[in-house]
């Protein structure tokens, strides 16, 4: 499973905020970004849940919600494809919104595109449909 830290590192690479020459995302210049990341990820991961293969309807009929993340080391409840291919774009968009609205718009558009693509690609399983009313002549399957 992917951690919040991993998503943060990918997002920092997208917005070109990796430290020189190490390429590390954890550096003093990114402290504010790191501080904001868990709150943003909490919103985004629930937006992405239905596009993840980890989504399942709850038996009690309630809407499934992922547990809140509070630390960068926590794992996300999304499959790796969504966590690494969708979430970093949404995080990058939120992090640069005040600094560069046009760049934020680009990342937001990519997030929307990737989320839609991921939702279309969710693996599904076929299952038999139970005939509860019977067929012609009252037969049931």
Query: What was the pLDDT predicted at 138?
Result: 58
Query: What was the pLDDT predicted at 124?
Result: 66
* 75 φ, ψ (degrees, to nearest 5): -85, 150
Which pTM was predicted? Answer: 0.82
Distances, alpha carbon 137 to alpha carbons 56, 128, 130, 140, in Å: 37, 21, 17, 9
- Positions in the chain whose pLDDT score sits under 70: 57-58, 123-126, 134-141
Query: What was the pLDDT predicted at 140?
Result: 54
Query: What was the pLDDT predicted at 59?
Result: 74
Virtual CA dihedral for 116, 118, 124, 130, nearest 10 degrees?
-20
Query: What was the pLDDT predicted at 41?
Result: 97
Query: What was the pLDDT predicted at 89?
Result: 98
DSSP state of 63: P
Distances, alpha carbon 44 to alpha carbons 16, 29, 70, 72, 130, in Å: 21, 24, 14, 15, 37
Query: What was the pLDDT predicted at 90?
Result: 98
Query: What was the pLDDT predicted at 126?
Result: 67
């Amino acid at each position: 499973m992917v951690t919040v830290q991993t998503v943060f590192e990918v997002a920092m690479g997208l917005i070109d905020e990796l430290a020189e020459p190490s390429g590390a995302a954890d550096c003093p210049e990114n402290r504010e970004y790191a501080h904001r990341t868990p709150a943003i990820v909490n919103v985004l991961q629930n937006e992405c849940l239905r596009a993840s293969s980890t989504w399942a309807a709850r038996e009690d009929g309630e809407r499934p919600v992922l547990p809140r993340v509070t630390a960068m080391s926590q794992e996300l409840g999304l499959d790796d494809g969504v966590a690494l291919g969708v979430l970093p774009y949404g995080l990058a968009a939120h992090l640069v919104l005040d600094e560069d609205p046009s760049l934020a718009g680009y990342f937001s558009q990519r997030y929307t595109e990737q989320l839609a693509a991921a939702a279309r690609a969710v693996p599904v399983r076929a299952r038999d449909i139970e005939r509860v009313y019977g067929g012609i002549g009252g037969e049931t399957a």
